[in-house]
């Protein structure tokens, strides 16, 4: 079954692309800066339009992505990036241990269950070098409410700050930093942006215009300014890989 073809093929809005690039630059810097004492390759699960991939190239860091959608994977391969095909979990063969950082941006909410989410986090833990970090971004269900499900039919696993941090700690990670972001702004100071977006967004007007007009700009713009979680967690330097759980 084709998953996320609608996302891969839909036209991009210039303002949205600019915001996503700024988000990616900030997220990338936080992830890499948290692993300054660790070397190794960057791993990304669900690379999307390749913003993190492009940043690793500029930083001259080795990079591997895992992508389930054939169109997205082909686009990145055509740009010269190493991409493994597959949906997670489990992580596909062809990976090695000792990654410096793993980015998983807007992927966790697509997991089918808490069991699947825990499995992929555990597998990433075993692939990271001691001191390596995982960077997770996802919608904050506690603030998105029903929009979490409305925006994407593949959103099945609601995530909140507590649920995310509990799962990461259970899988052996230590939380390095946690915040939220709304549009281009990071930190809880950005929350007024989401409050304003909810006031200005009129669902009835969106229904009248319909998703086929103006590139669905009303809904897509509104969702851009809802709060997303951003958590950086580190594999402790003295931790050991669980035998039999390494991948590749």
Are the CB atoms for 120 and 91 separated by under 8 Å? yes
What are 82-137's pLDDT values in tens digits?
999 999 999 999 899 999 999 999 999 999 999 999 999 999 999 999 999 999 99
Q: Which domain holds residue 154?
A: 5-193+228-234
pLDDT at 164 over 70: yes
Whether pLDDT at 243 is above 50: no
Residue 202 inside a domain? The answer is no
Rounded-to-integer distance, Cα 140 and Cα 108, Å:
11
In-domain check, residue 130: yes
DSSP reduced 3-state for 5: helix
Supply φ then ψ for residue 234, to 5 degrees: -115, 140
Q: Residue 245 pLDDT more than 70?
A: no
Residue 206 falls within a domain, yes or no? Answer: no
The answer to whether position 164 is within a domain reads yes
CA distance 28 to 55: 7
Query: Residue 133 corresponds to which tokens in the numbers above?
Result: 């970090």
Give the global pTM.
Answer: 0.90
Q: pLDDT value at position 211?
A: 62
CA atoms within 13 A on the CB side of 159: 31
Q: With respect to residue 175, please indicate whether it lies within any of the assigned structural domains.
A: yes
Query: Which whole number is the average pLDDT over 141-150?
Result: 95
**Is residue 239 situated within a structural domain?**
no
Residue 132 contacts residue 101 (beta carbons within 8 Å): yes
Number of domains in the chain: 1
Crossing angle of helices 191-200/217-224, nearest 10°?
Answer: 160
Domain contains 74: yes
CATH code of the domain in which 139 resides: 3.40.50.150
Give the C-alpha separation, 133 to 38, whole Å. Answer: 9
* pLDDT exceeds 80 at position 244: no
Residue 194 has pLDDT above 80, yes or no: yes
Three-state secondary-structure class, residue 153:
coil
Asked if residue 135 is part of any domain, the answer here is: yes
């Amino acid at each position: 079954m084709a998953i996320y073809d609608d996302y891969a093929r839909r036209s991009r809005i210039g303002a949205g692309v600019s915001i996503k690039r700024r988000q990616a630059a900030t997220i990338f810097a936080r992830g890499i800066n948290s692993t300054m004492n660790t070397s190794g390759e960057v791993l990304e699960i669900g690379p999307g339009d390749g913003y993190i991939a492009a940043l690793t190239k500029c930083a001259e860091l080795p990079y591997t992505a895992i992508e389930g959608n054939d169109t997205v994977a082909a686009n990145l391969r055509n740009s010269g990036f190493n991409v493994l095909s597959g949906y997670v979990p489990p992580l596909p063969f062809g990976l090695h241990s000792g990654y410096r950082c793993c980015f998983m941006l807007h992927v966790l909410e697509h997991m089918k269950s808490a069991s699947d989410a825990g499995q992929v986090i555990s597998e990433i833990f075993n692939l990271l070098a001691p001191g390596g970090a995982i960077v997770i971004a996802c919608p904050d269900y506690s603030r998105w409410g029903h929009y979490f499900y409305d925006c994407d039919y593949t959103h099945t696993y609601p995530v909140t700050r507590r649920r995310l941090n509990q799962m990461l700690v259970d899988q052996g990670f230590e939380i390095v930093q946690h915040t939220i972001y709304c549009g281009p702004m990071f930190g809880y100071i950005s929350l007024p942006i989401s409050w304003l977006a909810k006031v200005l967004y009129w669902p009835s007007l969106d229904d009248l215009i319909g998703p086929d007009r103006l590139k669905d700009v009303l809904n897509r713009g509104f969702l851009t300014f809802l709060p997303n979680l951003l958590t950086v967690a580190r594999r402790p330097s003295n931790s050991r890989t669980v035998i039999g759980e390494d991948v590749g």
